[in-house]
C-alpha cells in the first residue's frame, strides 16, 4: 500500500477534500448519484479532518471512495412465452474493514453502477453506525419485477444467483432485500444458492423466512427502526408521536411498517404513495387495506379508493410533499424529495423529516431543512434498523438459535437509541450541535477509517 505524504501542510483540508472529489468525478464521470453520496460525506467530515490530519496522511479517504471490487454479470432468463431476456447483474463489495460485506439487492430498471456505488458507499457508513461487525455492499439488477409472473420472478432469481453464488458466503458477503427484492425473492435466491453449494449455509442471506433461518422482526425492522429514531428526535424536543400528522412516501416494506409503528405510537398517518400517485385521507389511512393491496395482491395504490371512497387519490407521487404535516418520512427511493418539496413542507410547518429510504432527499433539500431549523434524520442513521436486525439474524444463524420477536424488537429499539446518541455526540464534538447528518457521517466514517488505518488496508 502506498501511503501518501501530505506533509506539505499548506494543503488545506478543503483543497484536499476537493481533490478527492475531483478524482471521483474523473474516475466515474457519469455516476451522479455516487458523486452526491461522496460529496455529502466529504462535506460532513471536513471539520473532523482539520483536527485529525492523520486521516489525511494515511490516505484513508482515497481508499474509502474506491470500492474493493465490483462484479457485473449477464443474467439471461426465459419469460412465460419462452422468449429470452438478458439483464445485467451487479454486486459491489465496497468495504470489508469492520466485517464481511453486507447489503441488500435491488431489482429495478434504474439499477446501474452509479446506483450500486452510491448504495454500497452509504451502506458502509450506515453499517458502521449500527455498531455491528458488518462491512458495506450492495447488489442487484436492472430487472423490472413489475408485471412479471411468479414463475418469471423465480427463473430470474435462479439465473441471477447461479452466478452470484460464487462470490458470496456467510463470512464473506451476505446479501438481503431492497427495492424489488422481498421475502419471495429471497426465498428463491437462497434456494438457488443452496443448490449451487449443496449445504445449508443459513448465514449467507438475511431476510429469510422464519422457517428457514430468518429472524423474527426483520421484515418490520427498517420501518419500525425509522420510527424509533424519530421518537428519539421528538424526545429531544420534549415531544412525542402522539397526535402528530405524518406523511410517508412509498408503500413498500419500509413505508408499511413505518406507518404501522407510527399509528401504534399515536400518530395520524394521512398519506402514502407508489410510483404512480398518492392517497390522502385526513382522518388517517387504513393500514390493513394498504397491506392487502401491496403485500398480498401487488396492486397499485389507487385501488385503495375502491374500499375507501372518502380518501383522495392524486396522480404524481412527488406531489405528496404538498400535504401539510408535522412529520415527513420519505421512504420510497433516491432523490424523491427536492428543494421545491422541502420548501412546501417548511411552509406548511413540518418539524421533523427522517429518511426511511436511501438518499431520498437532494442535497439542496437537506441544506434547506438544516437552515430552517427542521430536525433532520439522515438515512445512514434513520433507516439503519433494517441492516442492524440483519446483523442480529446473522448472529442467530451462527449460534443456531432463534430469538423471539420481542427480544429482537427490544434490541432494535436499543440500537436506534444508541445510533441517535452517537450521532448527536459526534456532531457536538465538532461544534455542530443537532446536525445529525454531520454526526452520523462522522461517527460512521470514524469507525471504518480507524479500522482501515489499523489494518493497513
Query: Any idea which residues carry the catalytic annotation?
Result: 138
Nearer to ligand GLU, 91 or 102 (CB): 102
Stretch that binds ligand GLU, among 272-280, 344-352, 384-392, 441-449 (CB under 6 A): 384-392
Task: Work out which of 44, 232, 249, 390 binds ligand GLU, going by CB under 6 A.
Answer: 390
Residue 94: in which H helix or E strand, if any? Answer: strand 84-95
Nearer to ligand GLU, 214 or 386 (CB): 386
Indicate the annotated binding residues. 102, 123, 126, 177, 222, 253, 390
The grid coordinates listed for 353 are 423529516
**From the CB of 76, what's the least distance to ligand GLU, in Å?**
25
Nearer to ligand GLU, 219 or 362 (CB): 219
Rounded to whole angstroms, the Cα distance separating 386 from 235 reads 22
Strand order, beta sheet including 101-107: 69-78, 84-95, 136-141, 101-107, 173-176
**From the CB of 178, what's the least distance to ligand GLU, in Å?**
4
Q: Is 12 helix (H, G, I), strand (E, B) or coil?
A: coil
* Footprint on residues 401-420 left by ligand GLU (CB under 6 A): none
**From the CB of 118, what's the least distance to ligand GLU, in Å?**
11
Q: Determine if 387 is a binding residue for ligand GLU (CB under 6 A).
A: yes
Rounded to whole angstroms, the Cα distance separating 423 from 437 reads 8
Give the x-and-dash track for 300-339 against ligand GLU (CB under 6 A). Answer: ----------------------------------------
Nearer to ligand GLU, 59 or 214 (CB): 214
Bridge partners (DSSP) of residue 352 are 327, 375
List all residues 6 or more positions away from 378 whose beta carbon is below 8 Å from its beta carbon: 355, 366, 436, 437, 440, 441
List all residues 6 or more positions away from 451 whose beta carbon is below 8 Å from its beta carbon: 97, 98
**From the CB of 113, what's the least distance to ligand GLU, in Å?**
17
Residue whose C-alpha cell reads 460464487 in the numeric block = 166
Task: Tell me, by CB under 6 A, how many residues bind ligand GLU.
Answer: 10
Q: Determine if 344 is a binding residue for ligand GLU (CB under 6 A).
A: no
> Strand locations in 124-233, DSSP E?
136-141, 173-176
**From the CB of 154, what's the least distance to ligand GLU, in Å?**
21
Position closest to ligand GLU via CB: 104
Nearer to ligand GLU, 337 or 391 (CB): 391
Question: CA 114 → CA 65, 84, 121, distances in Å?
Answer: 13, 26, 10
Indicate the annotated binding residues for NAD(+). 222, 253
Task: Work out which of 132, 206, 268, 441 binds ligand GLU, going by CB under 6 A.
Answer: 206
Residue among 55, 54, 66 at smallest CA distance from 26? 66
Rounded to whole angstroms, the Cα distance separating 55 from 57 reads 6
Indicate the annotated binding residues for substrate. 102, 123, 126, 177, 390
The grid coordinates listed for 107 are 431489482
The grid coordinates listed for 253 are 416494506
**From the CB of 139, what's the least distance to ligand GLU, in Å?**
10
Nearer to ligand GLU, 186 or 270 (CB): 186
Rounded to whole angstroms, the Cα distance separating 148 from 213 reads 27
Residue 107: in which H helix or E strand, if any? Answer: strand 101-107
Task: Work out which of 17, 98, 176, 325 binds ligand GLU, going by CB under 6 A.
Answer: 176
* Footprint on residues 357-376 left by ligand GLU (CB under 6 A): 358
Give the x-and-dash track for 225-264 against ligand GLU (CB under 6 A). Answer: ----------------------------------------
Residue among 183, 175, 171, 181 at smallest CA distance from 208? 183
Task: Work out which of 67, 136, 356, 386 binds ligand GLU, going by CB under 6 A.
Answer: 386
Rounded to whole angstroms, the Cα distance separating 148 from 81 reads 12
Rounded to whole angstroms, the Cα distance separating 124 from 59 reads 18
**From the CB of 106, what's the least distance to ligand GLU, in Å?**
7
**280: Cα separation from own chain's centroid:** 25
Nearer to ligand GLU, 115 or 285 (CB): 115
**From the CB of 403, what's the least distance to ligand GLU, in Å?**
16
The greatest distance separating any two alpha carbons of the chain, rounded to the nearest whole angstrom, comes to: 69
List all residues 6 or more positions away from 339 whose beta carbon is below 8 Å from its beta carbon: 362, 364, 365, 368
Rounded to whole angstroms, the Cα distance separating 166 from 188 reads 16
Stretch that binds ligand GLU, among 109-117, 276-284, 383-391, 449-457 (CB under 6 A): 383-391
* Footprint on residues 85-124 left by ligand GLU (CB under 6 A): 102-104
The grid coordinates listed for 322 are 404538498
Stretch that binds ligand GLU, among 87-95, 161-169, 382-390, 427-435 (CB under 6 A): 382-390
Nearer to ligand GLU, 215 or 245 (CB): 215
Burial (CB count within 10 angstroms: exposed 0-12, middle 13-18, buried 19+), residue 78: middle
> Which residues sit at the interface with ligand GLU, rule CB under 6 A?
102-104, 176, 178, 206, 358, 386-387, 390
Amino acid at each position: 500500500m502506498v501511503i501518501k505524504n501530505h506533509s506539505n501542510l499548506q494543503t488545506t483540508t478543503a483543497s484536499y477534500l476537493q481533490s478527492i472529489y475531483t478524482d471521483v468525478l474523473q474516475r466515474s464521470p457519469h455516476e451522479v448519484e455516487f458523486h452526491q453520496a461522496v460529496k455529502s460525506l466529504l462535506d460532513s467530515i471536513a471539520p473532523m479532518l482539520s483536527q485529525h490530519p492523520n486521516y489525511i496522511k494515511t490516505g484513508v479517504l482515497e481508499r474509502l471512495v474506491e470500492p474493493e471490487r465490483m462484479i457485473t454479470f449477464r443474467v439471461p432468463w426465459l419469460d412465460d412465452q419462452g422468449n429470452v431476456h438478458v439483464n445485467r447483474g451487479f454486486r459491489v463489495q465496497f468495504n470489508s474493514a469492520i466485517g464481511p460485506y453486507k447489503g441488500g439487492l435491488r431489482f429495478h430498471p434504474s439499477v446501474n453502477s452509479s446506483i450500486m456505488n452510491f448504495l454500497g458507499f452509504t451502506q458502509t457508513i450506515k453499517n458502521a453506525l449500527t455498531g455491528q461487525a458488518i462491512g458495506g455492499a450492495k447488489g442487484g439488477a436492472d430487472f423490472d419485477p413489475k408485471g412479471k409472473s411468479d414463475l418469471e420472478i423465480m427463473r430470474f432469481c435462479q439465473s441471477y444467483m447461479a452466478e452470484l453464488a460464487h462470490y458470496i458466503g456467510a463470512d464473506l458477503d451476505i446479501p438481503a432485500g431492497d427495492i424489488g427484492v422481498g421475502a419471495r425473492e429471497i426465498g428463491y435466491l437462497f434456494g438457488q444458492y443452496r443448490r449451487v453449494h449443496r449445504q445449508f449455509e443459513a448465514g449467507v442471506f438475511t431476510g429469510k423466512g422464519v422457517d428457514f433461518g430468518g429472524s423474527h422482526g426483520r421484515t418490520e425492522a427498517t420501518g419500525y427502526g425509522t420510527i424509533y429514531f424519530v421518537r428519539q428526535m421528538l424526545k429531544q424536543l420534549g415531544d412525542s408521536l402522539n397526535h402528530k400528522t405524518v406523511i410517508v412516501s412509498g408503500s413498500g416494506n419500509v413505508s408499511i411498517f413505518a406507518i404501522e409503528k407510527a399509528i401504534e405510537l399515536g400518530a395520524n398517518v394521512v398519506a402514502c404513495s407508489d410510483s404512480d400517485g398518492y392517497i390522502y385521507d385526513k382522518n388517517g389511512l387504513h393500514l390493513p387495506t394498504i397491506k392487502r393491496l401491496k403485500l398480498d395482491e401487488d396492486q397499485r395504490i389507487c385501488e385503495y379508493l375502491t374500499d375507501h371512497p372518502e380518501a383522495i387519490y392524486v396522480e404524481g407521487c412527488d406531489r405528496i410533499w404538498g400535504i401539510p404535516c408535522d412529520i415527513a418520512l420519505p421512504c420510497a427511493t433516491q432523490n424523491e424529495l427536492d428543494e421545491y418539496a422541502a420548501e412546501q413542507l417548511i411552509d406548511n410547518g413540518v418539524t421533523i423529516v427522517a429518511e426511511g429510504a436511501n438518499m431520498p432527499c437532494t442535497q439542496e433539500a437537506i441544506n434547506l431543512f438544516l437552515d430552517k431549523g427542521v430536525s433532520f434524520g439522515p438515512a445512514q442513521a434513520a433507516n439503519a434498523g433494517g441492516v442492524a436486525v440483519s446483523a442480529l439474524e446473522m448472529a442467530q444463524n451462527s449460534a443456531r438459535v432463534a430469538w423471539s420477536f420481542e427480544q429482537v424488537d427490544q434490541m432494535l429499539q436499543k440500537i436506534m437509541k444508541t445510533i441517535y446518541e452517537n450521532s448527536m455526540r459526534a456532531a457536538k464534538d465538532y461544534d455542530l450541535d443537532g446536525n445529525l447528518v454531520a454526526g452520523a457521517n462522522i461517527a460512521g466514517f470514524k469507525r471504518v477509517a480507524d479500522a482501515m488505518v489499523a489494518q493497513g488496508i
